[in-house]
Structure formats: structure tokens, C-alpha cells
Structure 1
Amino acid sequence: MTGPAGQHTQAALRRCPVPTWRRALVAAVVVSVAAVATRVSAETPSAADFAACNAQARAAVAAGSATPTTKDYMHAEAARKGQATTAPSIDSPKKVTPYSPDPQLVGMETAGTTDAAYQAAYRTCMRRSGF
């Protein structure tokens, strides 16, 4: 466009920055996607995570610092009665990974399945590790 009206419109477009709300929306979407991606990747513990939490659980039981909950006592009792379902672990033939409705007990050593204090310490370690 030519003339004063066309010049005015072009000048206004050059001065008009992207609206603040649009910038805020884009920033919120980027942060949300990053948070979801981080959370999804953090939900998959590795064999090293299992080994570290098993070691911490053994140490906590030996020190007497674990505090079992009712849930821990119920899981341990079920395991003593043979009601825990297990499958071989990938990291050692001596260990098994319990199929548990509690994802924070997956990867726990067999010895810990019948010990409520061990389960409490293992669960605490998994929670602190972000699982």
C-alpha cells in the first residue's frame, strides 16, 4: 500500500512485538513437554538402580533404621505364604524381580520379599531415586 494509510500500517506492524500472552503460552508448552519427557524417562529404573537400592536396604535393615508400614507387613506376609509371584532378574541368577502391584518393589532381591523392614528401606530408596 502507498500513501499515509499504507505507511502507517507497515510502521505499526514493525513496532508491534509478539503479544506477551503468546510468548507465555509458548514457554508454558515448552516447559510442560520438557517436564513430561523428564518424568517419563525417570520412571524406568535400571539394574544399577535396583542394585543400589538393594544395597541401601540391606544396610538399613542391618542398622535397624528402616520403618515398615502396614503395606510392607502385608507384602512380607504374603511372600512368606508363597503368594508373591516372581520372575528371574536380568542381573543375577540368585535374585528375582517380584511382579508387584507396587512399582517401588520391582527389582528387590528375593531375601527382601519376606522382610517388611527390607521392603520399607527398598521402597524409600526407590522413591528418593525418583521411581
Structure 2
Amino acid sequence: MTVLALILLGSLATTRMADGEVPSSADFAACNAAAPHTVKAGTVSPTMADHARADRARGGALATNSPDFPGTVIESADPQIHGMEAEGAKNASYQAAYRACMRRKGF
């Protein structure tokens, strides 16, 4: 019985960790602050998806105003894109840097 209880608790803990957390405004701010420095250092490689999103962002298709964030940001179901500053989203390298930052934070 004790072994069964331990297995159940272990599986619940693993499921909780697999679900992950929701990024906070502090996470968005940190990655938006770090992205320009990473772009300037030249240590990111944008993907074709980054280039496509940057094209759409330049057309204004992705940006929205949100009461949770200062300025205009990207709203997305993808936690590695959500919360990105709209101006930065126009640059594929900025998007790659922001996504890398969010990945390092576990999103």
C-alpha cells in the first residue's frame, strides 16, 4: 500500500512539472531586456519561422495592446513568443533571442 501511494505521489509531481508554469510579466520584461544585448552580440540564429513572424509583425498582424504590459506586445498561445515587445518582434534575430531566453526560463 505504501509503495502504491509513493508511486501515485511521484506521478502527480511529475505531471505537475511537465505542465510547466505560466510566464509572468517579470519573465517577459527580463527576456525583452536581454534580447537586444543577445542580438548585438550576434549569438542567435533566427529560424524561418522567426523570419515569417517578423514579416507579419512588420505588417502589424501580431501586435496588441494589453493592460498587463507597457506598450504594444505580441499575444500568442506560444509561451516563447507571448509578451515579446512588438517593436522587437519586427526583427527575426530579436525573436530568436527572446525565444532562447524564454526557453532558458523553462517555457
1:112 aligns with 2:91: no
Q: Across the two proteins, how many residue pairs are aligned to each other? A: 107
Measured after TM superposition, the shift of residue 76 of structure 1 is 0.2
What's 1:31 paired with? 10
Per-residue CA deviation, residues 50-108 of structure 1 (Å, 9 max, x unaligned), is: 1111112111011111110011001001111222241325242xx32312243211111
Give distance in 2, aligned partners of 1:74 and 1:102: 15
Superposition TM-score, scaled by structure 2 size: 0.85
Q: Which has the higher helix share?
A: 1
Structure 1's consecutive aligned runs of 4 or more residues displaced over 3 angstroms after TM superposition are none
1:47 aligns with 2:30: no
1:99 aligns with 2:56: no
C-alpha RMSD over aligned residues:
1.8
Superposition TM-score, scaled by structure 1 size: 0.71
What letter matches 2:99 in structure 1? R
Q: Which structure's CA Rg is the greater one?
A: 1
Match of 2:61 among 48, 64, 83: 83
Q: Which runs of 5+ in 1 are unaligned?
A: 1-21
